[in-house]
């Protein structure tokens, strides 16, 4: 049951990621939701087989690093362009 819930969370996160592609902040939030659903899936899988949770700790550490990198890119984009729309962000300028 827990694995079904986490897979449903994963697909909902993918749907939101595809629908909200105009704003960088909403894309980052949906990516974090996808990472959270994957973490929930790994945790339930490891608890089902009574294994150690060391890999899940490494996974959550790497996802926190990914979130910090995404937020730093968001801050630098807002400082240079004024907003987080991808329509105003042009690489050719």
Q: List pLDDT tens digits, range 68-78.
A: 998 998 888 88
Looking at residue 36, its pLDDT comes to 93
Cα distance between residue 78 and residue 24, in whole Å = 10
Q: List pLDDT tens digits, range 2-60.
A: 888 989 999 999 999 999 888 888 889 999 999 999 999 998 888 888 888 888 889 99
pTM over 0.75: yes
Looking at residue 91, its pLDDT comes to 61
Looking at residue 35, its pLDDT comes to 94
CATH number of 2-81: 1.10.287.3510
Domain spans, the chain: 2-81
Looking at residue 16, its pLDDT comes to 93
């Amino acid at each position: 049951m827990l694995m079904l819930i986490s897979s449903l969370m994963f697909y909902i996160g993918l749907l939101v990621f595809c629908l909200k592609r105009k704003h960088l902040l909403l894309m980052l939030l949906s990516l974090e939701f996808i990472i959270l659903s994957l973490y929930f899936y790994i945790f339930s899988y490891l608890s089902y087989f009574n294994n150690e949770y060391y890999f899940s700790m490494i996974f959550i550490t790497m996802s926190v690093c990914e979130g910090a990198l995404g937020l730093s890119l968001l801050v630098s984009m807002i400082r240079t362009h004024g907003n987080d729309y991808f329509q105003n962000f042009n690489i050719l300028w």
